[in-house]
Amino acid sequence: MKLKLRIWRQSGAEAKGRMVEYIVDGISEDASFLEMLDVLNEQLIAEGADPVAFDHDCREGICGACSLVIDGQAHGPQAATTTCQLHMRKYRDGDVIDVEPWRAGAFPVIKDLVVDRTAFDRIIAAGGYISAPTGTAPDAHATPVAKQDADAAFAAAACIGCGACVAACPNGSGMLFMAAKVAHLARMPQGQPERHTRVLGMVAEHDASGFGGCTNTGECSAACPKEIGLDVIGQLNRDFRKAAAKAA
């Protein structure tokens, strides 16, 4: 199939960017979206032009590296799917496709479609961990966890940290990402000792990084490739309220 692409090109962090049009031809419907961009890049390299920079790593939907806003939707039109798992059979010959980077002040563009997601690492470093003594791994059944809690923790832990929630949020908020980690650890016995300092620290870092607040529109969940629900934000709100009251 033949497609017209409009892609955000920006030569560097400080440079001014703009949408640039490209035509790609001979794209198989079995190609993934990223493979389609690979075809474009080979074409650009052959022409001596600068290829389009985009993030990718596993290309199997588990690492969280890929990150494109395709026709205004983070990770494209298919629900519960990362960009690398999106396939060209979703498109028809002659389609025009807009491709933009995640847009958030806290995620500055490094080049073209690649953004700097260090802010997420800082949020995790501000409390999204447990402190555990090192040594041999404990027996798997040494600390029992109720099935219900294990399932909820596991669902929250499915977050791959891609940042689609921020890209989709009308407020550029990082709440779903932060809440997934808070909810994950809040359901585990190992997460209890640092539960309150965790939530206060992470929220402070989230705000300091320049992410917006949550208005509960739910765009984050709708865009999340791992279908993390708004209930994790409910848990975050509850933990924050309790931690803030206790620290007062």
Partner 1 sequence: MSTDLKPRKAAPAKAGGRPARSPRLRSSIGLKLVMAVSGLLMVGFIIAHMAGNLHVFEGRESMNDYAHGLRTFGEPLIPHESLLWVMRLGLIAAVGAHIWSSVVLTRRALAARPVRYASKKPAKGESRHAAATMRWGAAVIVLFVTWHLLDLTFRTVNPVKEVPDAYGAVVAAFAPERWPVTVFYLLALVALGFHLRHGIWSAVQTIAGPDTRWRARWQAAALGVSVIVVAGFAVVPLAVSFGLVN
Q: Which positions lie near partner 1, rule CB under 8 A?
A: 6, 8, 13-14, 19, 69, 71-73, 98, 100, 103-106, 108-110, 116, 118, 121-122, 125-127, 170-173, 175, 200-222, 229-231, 233-238, 240-241, 244, 247-248
Compute the distance between CA of residue 36 and CA of residue 25 in angstroms, rounded to an integer. 9
CB nearer to ligand FES: pick between 83 and 221? 83
Cα end-to-end span (Å), the chain: 62
User: By CB under 6 A, which span of 46-54, 61-69, 120-128, 207-215 interacts with ligand FES?
Assistant: 61-69
x-or-dash string of contact with ligand FES, 69-88, rule CB under 6 A: -------------xxx----
Nearest-approach distance from CB 12 to partner 1, in angstroms: 9
Residue 229 interface partner, choices partner 1, ligand FES, none, CB cut-off 5-8 Å depending on type: partner 1
Gap between the Cα atoms of 64 and 234, Å rounded = 24
CB of 112 to partner 1, least distance (A): 14
Which of 31, 53, 62, 158 forms a contact with ligand FES (CB under 6 A)? 62
Secondary structure of the chain: what % helix, strand, coil (to 5)? Answer: 40, 15, 50
Alpha-carbon gap, residue 34 to 99, rounded angstroms: 11
What's the burial of 55, exposed, middle or buried (CB within 10 Å: 0-12/13-18/19+)? buried
Query: Minimum distance between the CB of residue 128 and ligand FES, rounded to whole angstroms?
Result: 20
Residue of the chain from 10, 33, 54, 56 that contacts ligand FES (CB under 6 A): 56
* Residue 212 binds ligand FES (CB under 6 A): no
Contact assessment for residue 233 and residue 216, using Cβ atoms and an 8 Å cutoff: yes
Which one of partner 1, ligand FES, none interacts with residue 73, CB within 5 to 8 A by kind?
partner 1
- Whether residue 99 contacts residue 8, with contact meaning beta carbons closer than 8 Å, is answered with yes
From the list ligand FES, partner 1, none, partner contacted by residue 14 (C-beta under 5 to 8 A by kind): partner 1
Alpha-carbon span 85 to 219, nearest angstrom? 20
Distance CA 67, CA 176 (A): 16
Name the binder of 173 from partner 1, ligand FES, none, CB < 5-8 A by kind: partner 1
165: left (phi over 0), alpha (psi -120 to 50) or beta: alpha
Chain residues in the site for ligand FES (CB under 6 A): 56-59, 61-66, 82-84
